[in-house]
Amino acid sequence: MLHALPAVAALKRERPAWRVDWAVDSRWVPLLIGDGERGPVVDMVHEVPTKGWKSSPVSLSTLRSVLGLRKELRSEHYDLVVDLQGTLRSSVIGSFARGEDFVGYGDPREPLARRLYKRRLVRKGEHVVEQGAALLGEACGVALTPGAVALPQVAWAERWASEEAVLSRPMCVLAAGGGWGAKQWPAERYGELAVALKAMGFDVVVNSGHADDAAAARVVAASGGACRLVLCNVAGLVALLRRADLVVGGDTGPVHLAAALAVPLVALFGPTRPERNGPFGVGASRVLRDASSVTSYRRSEVMEAGLGRVSVERVVGAVKEVVSS
């Protein structure tokens, strides 16, 4: 979503009168719509409860939910549907709408997805944000330049962040998670980094979406009290990061969210290429990747060897560069 948002935001800037809706997993709705009926980028959201579908894939309730979504999408009579994700699931959901045109990549992430598109376009650009803007722009016949993204606000989350989560400034958020183990820098090093950041005057926090997050707990323990755990959902994370003075983490959602919010950041990359997946935004940033890292998008749980060669000292040096820029 965070990689697709700059393209959609660019379209809305170029064609503000156009109606732009988004079908998205229910968990990520706060990235699109806040307290109002519309968001800064989209006019309406179709919630896709994929988590519930996964938990009961063959139940009657799931069937009703899928059919209900299909009916909802078809009732809007869309002129154009664009699949920016390129998975079989996203293409099936896109096909539900029966739009006059349905566009996707000629080489989607999951090859079966392309069979459902009416138009298949050549992937252009190196970074996935640039690719998304090229795809959406060509599909719409509008030249799009991805840029800043406005994220919605949720009143309760903003109050929580101001009154409870942020205890002092400057504050650094450590985004120690990752989609899979190969992308995760060791918790012990995050703990050591937290000690160094605290000595630099930062209030250091580790964000997590649930209290039993073992990885976040290891970071807090390894820091010896130099950092604290902050629990928050997506709306809370957006509000927290709005107030952050620095973010350090791997190729993971909070880092890309920080980039969208123009928060200064240091990103630690291993198996994934920063040129393709790195933070895309206008804030001060440094991306660290060891020259020995081997590009692989295989979801291995073993940390990529090159990432393991990124030292705490190197990260501290990058932090000093970012905060002084």
Q: List 265's β-bridge partners, or say none.
A: 247, 285
In the prediction, which pLDDT does 255 show?
A: 95
Taking domain 5-140, whether its CATH number is 3.40.50.2000 is answered by yes
Q: How far apart are CA 253 and CA 20, in angstroms?
A: 23
Where does CATH 3.40.50.2000 sit in the chain? 5-140, 155-324
Q: How far apart are CA 255 and CA 173, in angstroms?
A: 9
In the prediction, which pLDDT does 314 show?
A: 97
In the prediction, which pLDDT does 297 show?
A: 86
The amino acid present at 90, given as its one-letter code, is: S
CA angle 299, 117, 64 (to 5 degrees): 75
Residue 285 backbone class (left: φ over 0; alpha: ψ -120 to 50; beta: rest):
beta
In the prediction, which pLDDT does 194 show?
A: 98
Q: How far apart are CA 276 and CA 11, in angstroms?
A: 21
CA angle 30, 213, 186 (to 5 degrees): 110
Name which of 306, 310, 304 is nearest 181 in CA terms.
304
In the prediction, which pLDDT does 36 show?
A: 83
In the prediction, which pLDDT does 218 show?
A: 94
Class of domain 155-324: alpha beta
In the prediction, which pLDDT does 210 show?
A: 87
Low-confidence ranges of the chain (pLDDT < 70): 282
Name which of 246, 251, 187, 253 is nearest 221 in CA terms.
187
Tokens of 95: 């096909």
Q: What is the pTM of this model?
A: 0.91
* Cβ atoms within 10 Å, residue 223: 23
Q: List 246's β-bridge partners, or say none.
A: 172
Handedness of CA 222, 226, 231, 235 (dihedral sign): negative
At 224-243, the pLDDT tens digits run 999 999 999 999 999 999 99
In the prediction, which pLDDT does 37 show?
A: 81
